[in-house]
Structure 1
Amino acid sequence: MAADSKVAYNFLGKSGLKVSNICLGTLTFGMSKGSLAVYECSTQLDTERSHWILDRYVELGGNFLDTANTYTGGKSEEIIGDWLQKYAHAWDNAVPIEETLRTFDDLVRCGNIRYYGFSNVCGWQLQKIVDFAKYSGLNQPISLQQHYSLLCRQSEWEEFMVCKNEGIGVLPWSPLNGQVFLFGLLTGKFKRGEIPDKTKSRIGFIHTDETRALMCAPAWSNYAENEVYWNLLDVMEKIAVARGKSIPQVAIRWLLQQDVVSSVIIGATSLKQLDDNMGASAGWELSKEEMAELDAASPRMSYYPYEMIWKVNGPDRFNEFNHSIKI
């Protein structure tokens, strides 16, 4: 860790691994015509520009990268080289989870990897993973990489409860709703009544031919008239202006102040973007009032059986000593 680091560091879950609380996502590294259409748009980075981003990230104190063999058809992995994180990217219905966990355990015991984690799983899957590893005497996962943002909070209901109970660190991906399917909806660059520029955003690129949306992403029309989305942006902008911060910094800071989050995975297509995102890491916090205002504006849809749980378990039924998690 750099002595003059501009970021903060957290232990990842209950492991001994200490990571910068801003993780650099690398979905924007590399261009590939053999993969999703959005990988061909101008926001993708060639090798040289990707290396600039990596160099600057390390210079700022970052020590944590996210990549996968699905990013730009494997080009991202080629650019990063030996810095690959070991992840099970999603639940595989074709392979028994017991086999997967024994393989990860073998890799740890052989010294090939230090730790492992999972990504994009639901609550029952994560609990099964933890229980099998625990009661079989295997090394347990230390992290869960999950889509989490002010626009996507579904994992708060189940997956993050498991993480809190089991000491698993959460690594939110797409904190600005900016990965390949989501276009940076929380960056503040989109305005009411304006069509996104096709040369400056993925959603603008998709909008030029919305048949592409059927293949890889939602269409802009899904958001153009969505008042919940626009009202949330208004609240974020108000807080950003009052605090002298950017809208992306507010979005990332909200995540960093969730007690289950160890590090937030960001992405950048320029040094300016990287510096701005890293500015959310340390040196300031959102107030309780600002956090509450963002929570109120952020969509957190409830579904059965949670409305029933609310009725039975009001605030008077929460016991801080029973290790349950307050909903």
Structure 2
Amino acid sequence: MPTPLVRLRLDEATAKRVADVLEDVFAFGEVSISAFETSKDDWTVEIFGGPETPVEELAQGVREALGPEATGVVEAVTIDEADWIAKSLEGLKPVPAGRFVVHGAHDRDKIPPDVIGIEIEAALAFGTGHHGTTRGCLLAIDELLGERRFERVLDLGSGTGVLAIAIALAQKAPALATDIDEVSARIAQENAEANGAGSFVQSVHATGFDHPVFADRGPFDLIVANILAGPLVDLAPEVAAHLADGGRVVLSGLMNAEEDRVRQAYAAQGLNVLDAKRLEGWSTLTLAR
């Protein structure tokens, strides 16, 4: 089916910022966004809409979301009979993060055997590894797994399930993935199965900690949550309540300027920061009681 495409040419910093803004603005599953280098000092952002979205409507939505930065729009076209998800990922290179490498199917044969490859095929849910928050979480997880084994793992707000999959594959042990969005929960389970982690990852649609799966599987000795600063602050009491003694928490989805607010919310629950990583304007915090 015909697929709308809006393409922007920008410098690296602006391209990454624009991609972040668009991911936050567009509704879940509405578009697929990729930002990649096309030549020195030249980056491209591509926004693929759903097949039923008029290209003029997609272009206008991008302009309204970006304001002055939409001047980088150089093309708005309709592609006939295109696999829009696959094309949106063609420019994305594998992303290394410690022992992990997140990649698309088009790079499957390029992943070396001495790393844990995680194949995430499209931005139908948040977390392809090409965002500073996902990479920050994977780096934090890699360091924690180098210190000890975690028996009861929760990936809260799992999106594509990439974090739960990473932990499960590294440990060959169970991990619970939950998301408030039913489609995300389904996609996370499908991704786990596609990556050989289906027997370890249980993906559940859960809108809050009152879901019985949290009591059945907790308390957790590792909780990872790559969501947004506001929900992270709101969830601080329940995250602390479901954390086992000696457990660890990894938080991301917060911008550098939001870090203090999140730190304070968790400090009030007795959880303090052990490590902070800052990538592309985003922070990833590792905490312990």
Question: Which structure is higher in strand share?
Answer: 2
Q: Which has the larger radius of gyration?
A: 1
Relative contact order (C-alpha < 8 Å, sep 6+): which is higher?
1
